[in-house]
Structure formats: structure tokens, C-alpha cells
Amino acid sequence: MRQHVNPLSQFFQLPLTLPSKNVIFKKSHYPIHIDIGSAKGEFLIELAIKYPDWNFVGLEIREPLVSLCEKKRKQLELNNLKFLFCNVNVSLDEWLSDLDYGQLKRVSIQFPDPWFKRKHFKRRVLKTSLLNSIAKAMSKDGEIFIQSDILKLIESMTNTIDKNRYFNRKYLGDLRCVDKNPYNVKTDREILSLKNNLLIYRAMYIRNSLLFIN
């Protein structure tokens, strides 16, 4: 399975109509946690088991991984979890606009593709337009959690969010201030990084009280 796909290729620029929350969840009124770049899905599977009164959505641009995760989810009969294939920067805004205001409580972006070459920076997932879509759907005190084992990438991500008027960083200063994943569930990449004694850089952002202005 390919580790990376180019999100700017013509195929991934085609907008997809994602199924509504009322279609994918039996109890569609529950608060929602979205994990962008859900990979093999183990992080969300464990959360969905631990917190049955939440709904979880894993969004992944590699379609074979989504099929694999959905197979595992169905075997476990987790009705509060759904994995969806999409390019979030193309297809997520419309899906978020159908949520009840404030229903989106948490968004996590963990160990996203780094795209090291400067000419490829535009392929990175976190963009101002995506942040604004999240801000529009999220009420005060909602969370965005990010982490990576690549300092230059996490610095780029924090720079992008720091410039956004709708989110405030919870811990200022050293990106190692958040000493563990706040959800007490590790991703596969997180486990591997810790095993290899790599530093993990994290940041938590809180949605402030400013009303979203288009």
C-alpha cells in the first residue's frame, strides 16, 4: 500500500458527497470527534470502544486503508464509528455544514504526511481553508489536537493555526509541553516513534468565543 498519495492530483480534486451523520450513525445527536488521516484506524477503534456516547469519524485519503478499517469496524459492530474516504480539503466543508452547531467537539491530526520538499509543502493537509471549515462547525471550547515526530512539520502546523483568529493554543512555548496524547490512546505511528526513542511534538488548540465570519 502506498505511503503517500498526491492530494493535488486531478483524481483527488474531485469533490465527494459524504453520507450524512443521520445515515452513518444510529445515534446521530452524539458529539463528534473527527480524526483526519486515520490510517489503520486503531486509534479511533479504541476510542469508540471506550466512549460509546461519542461518535467518531476517520477520514483518510488512501481508499484501501478505509476499506480495511471499515472491515474491522463492522467485525466489532461499532455503530458509533465510521471511516470515510475523501480529500478533506475538497470534501469536508459540505459534510460539516450539515452538523448541528457545536456538535463537532474534537478534531485530531496526527503524524500527517510531511512532504519534506519545499515545492511539495502545498500538499500538506493543514490549510487555512480547512481550519475555517472546522471553526465554522465548532462551538466554544472545541479542540484541535495535533502531533508529529517531525519538528519542522509541527512548527508549520502551529504557525498555520496560530494565525487563525478562531483558535487559541492551550500551552504556549515548547511543543513538548504536552507530554502525552490527551486521549490516552496511541496511534500506530506514535507507538513506533516512542519505541525508537523519537521526540514527539504536540499542541492542543481550543475554539474561542469569536463568531465565525465568512
Active site residue 93: no
Rg of the chain on CA atoms, in Å: 16
Instruction: Catalytic residue, from 93, 98, 100, 113: name it.
Output: 113
Provide the angle, in degrees to the nearest 10, between the axes of the packed helices 151-162 and 128-137.
Answer: 60
Please state, in angstroms and as integers, the Cα–Cα distance from residue 31 to each residue in 4, 51, 99, 100, following that order.
31, 11, 10, 10
- Residue with the three cell numbers 504557525: 159
A 10 A CB-CB count for 100 gives 13
Burial 10-47 (b: 16+ CB within 10 A, else e): eebeeeeebeebeebbeeeebbbbbbbbbbbbbbbbeb
Q: Phi and psi (nearest 5°) for 122?
A: -65, -10
Q: In whole angstroms, what is the distance from residue 96 CA to residue 129 CA? A: 13
Active site residues: 113
